[in-house]
Structure 1
Amino acid sequence: MTEVKVATLNLFNKVGRWGERMPLVVDQFVELAPDVIGLQEVDLTIDQGMALCRAVNSRVGESPRYWIYHMTRPGRAAHFLANAFMSRLPAEAHEGLDYLTFESVAHRLRVKLPDGKLLDCYNTHLHYPPEAVEERLAQAKKLRVWVDTWKGANAVVVSGDFNAYPGEPTLDLMKEKFVSAHEAANGREPEKTWPTPVNTYDPSPPGTLDYIFVDGAKVKSASLAFDKPHPLDADLFPSDHLGLVAVLEVG
């Protein structure tokens, strides 16, 4: 069995005091030390992903360094709502899926584990408004079909900001094939992954919107991540979302 640590975090691009948030993200990233992480809302106008990758790599010492793989949206949101993977495992393939609705995309990174096994990681950010239940479901159906077209991996992880509250059909669809890592490890989903006090303008109800779904691997542990506020400012978190992390065993 090979152990691998995967994570997800919506960065909230550069809004919400990013200059103050970035050190928190870097500190907690280095402490977490994921093998692969999927990021959403990466701002290309400030080269946010590369800046984060360089900052983390300056702190990892003799550990393997991270590489970053971007996948941006089409249209008007391209510059500030990109997705990205950061991985310290060697990549075998990288490609994207345009949902062709609401400028939303997903992407896949196939990585090779130290023992030669292959892990397919998918990173997505589904359509946002809470009332867009059917729109998210349609995107999730496309995601499921796309995932099923790729063969040859020993295990599959699908993670990201699904913008889907517990009880939505999008989550039912995902759980037909995958297990939710947090639910498998803890018997339930987190109380919430959104919002933190960083988000001061969106009045939508709090809830669990972010997930790590797994197929073909055993979930050893899972928990919230990027969930520690600044020690001197209880309203300053790494993002307006909390992240998730899971330790998996790939047989």
Structure 2
Amino acid sequence: MTAHRLRALFAPLLIVLVVGVLSACASSPRPVAAGEAAALRVMTFNVRYASPNDGVNLWENRRALTLKTIVDQQPDLIGMQELLLGQATWLDQQLPHHAWFGKGRNGNEVDGNGNEHMGLFYDTRRLTLLRQGDFWYSETPDVPGSANFDGPMPRMATWGEFEDTRNGKRFFLFNTHLPHTDAAEALRERCARLLLARIRQLAGDAPVVVTGDFNAHPDGPTHKLLTAQLSDAWEQAPQRSGPEKTAHAFTGNPDARIDWVLFRQFGIRSVHSVDDHEGPLYPSDHYPVVAELTWL
């Protein structure tokens, strides 16, 4: 039997073995260091939708690495963008102590390339979900799939209210993906205003975290609008590591910091981006960002 045929025979078994080991690791809670009990680990992660046109970067080729990235970081909460239903279902099966929720931006649960979810994964050992919801960036934000903010496609946010089982404190997380292209800055600002209005309406004065791919530069008007009321973890953290820029198109050479963790009424201990890869293979075309937030 040739070496090529042997590799073809055993490659699927190796993938199953790796995923099995990672799933077992996912069932073990991250050790809590002294003085760390109050820290809340929040990840924002644009996982890149499962496009059939991605060549070597097909979801099937990188999903085990995506899982490994999550397991290694052990986040309490993950705000994902570009998440298709099939991707969410697979990750949910591999992360036994996490639950997830989210709706397709088209207003249905068809598993297609255009129907991304603002999926929120949370560790059920640490957090209890109290309520959840979605809204769309449109004149009718409560109408699923609505897109009349002059954008070419529906854009939305998914939110949840959580209780920290370690101390009984409650907070909200909002997860979103704003329109892309430089020409869409005015549209992003309009979306940001609606996001802030919904935060006021839903969360009141409660602590809030916002995760997302904002497709905006940190020195631009959308960032300025949001950070007038929220803090940017990357700008405020006393400890930072990893590349500052996050969007890299599967090259490992990022050119923009568009993936943010924003917050209010939390302290910030540290923030880092995750540039893990296996040779030329990356878990996504964005680096995830992890912030350690502390209760005030």
TM-score normalised by length of structure 1:
0.86
* Residue 105 of structure 2 is aligned to residue 105 of structure 1: no
Kindly indicate whether the alpha-carbon contact (under 8 Å) linking 1:219 and 1:247 is maintained by their aligned counterparts in 2: yes
Q: Which residue of 2 aligns with 1:224?
A: 273
Structure 2 unaligned blocks of 5 or more: 1-36, 52-56, 139-148
Give the distance between the partners of 1:187 and 1:172, measured in 2 at CA.
22
Q: 1:73 aligns with which of 88, 105, 108?
A: 105
Q: Which residue of 1 aligns with 2:92?
A: 53
Kindly indicate whether the alpha-carbon contact (under 8 Å) linking 1:224 and 1:243 is maintained by their aligned counterparts in 2: yes
Give the distance between the partners of 1:5 and 1:22, measured in 2 at CA.
22
1:95–1:75 distance in 2 versus 1, CA, 3 Å: closer
How far 1:90 moved relative to its partner?
1.2
Q: Which residue of 1 aligns with 2:27?
A: none
Give 3-state SS (helix, strand or coil) of 1:83's partner: coil
* Residue 134 of structure 2 is aligned to residue 96 of structure 1: yes
Kindly indicate whether the alpha-carbon contact (under 8 Å) linking 2:244 and 2:273 is maintained by their aligned counterparts in 1: no
Q: Which amino acid aligns with 2:226?
A: M
Task: Give 4+ residue runs of structure 1 displaced > 4 Å after superposition.
Answer: 75-78, 186-190
Kindly provide the CA deviation profile for residues 112-156 of structure 1, in whole angstroms up to 9, marking residues without a partner as x.
Answer: 102110120000000011221111111011101111112366410
* Residue 292 of structure 2 is aligned to residue 247 of structure 1: yes
Give the distance between the partners of 1:154 and 1:186, measured in 2 at CA.
24
Q: Which residue of 2 aligns with 1:211?
A: 260
Matches within 5 A, 1:145-164: 145-151=197-203, 154-164=206-216
Give 3-state SS (helix, strand or coil) of 1:31's partner: helix
Q: Which residue of 1 aligns with 2:188?
A: 136
Give 3-state SS (helix, strand or coil) of 1:131's partner: helix
TM-score normalised by length of structure 2:
0.73
Q: 2:235 aligns with which of 177, 183, 187?
A: 183
Q: Which residue of 1 aligns with 2:121?
A: 86
1:70–1:77 distance in 2 versus 1, CA, 3 Å: closer
Q: Which residue of 2 aligns with 1:120?
A: 172
Give the distance between the partners of 1:51 and 1:130, measured in 2 at CA.
33
Give the distance between the partners of 2:207 and 2:265, measured in 1 at CA.
4
Q: Work out the percentage of aligned pairs sharing the same amino acid.
A: 27
Give the distance between the partners of 1:33 and 1:54, measured in 2 at CA.
16
May I ask how many residue pairs the two structures share in their alignment? 234
Q: 2:245 aligns with which of 182, 192, 204?
A: 192
Higher relative contact order (CA 8 A, sep 6+): 1
Q: Which residue of 1 aligns with 2:8?
A: none
Which structure has the highest strand share of the two?
1
Q: Indicate the structure (1 or 2) with the bigger Cα radius of gyration.
A: 2
Give the distance between the partners of 2:190 and 2:62, measured in 1 at CA.
34
Matches within 5 A, 1:27-42: 27-42=68-83
Q: 2:46 aligns with which of 1, 6, 10?
A: 10
Give the distance between the partners of 1:73 and 1:229, measured in 2 at CA.
29
Give the distance between the partners of 1:145 and 1:54, measured in 2 at CA.
35
How far 1:186 moved relative to its partner?
4.9
Kindly indicate whether the alpha-carbon contact (under 8 Å) linking 2:240 and 2:271 is maintained by their aligned counterparts in 1: no
Give 3-state SS (helix, strand or coil) of 2:119's partner: strand
How far 1:196 moved relative to its partner?
3.9
Give the distance between the partners of 1:87 and 1:187, measured in 2 at CA.
24
How far 1:187 moved relative to its partner?
8.0
1:153–1:94 distance in 2 versus 1, CA, 3 Å: farther
Give the distance between the partners of 2:164 and 2:63, measured in 1 at CA.
29
Kindly indicate whether the alpha-carbon contact (under 8 Å) linking 1:72 and 1:105 is maintained by their aligned counterparts in 2: no
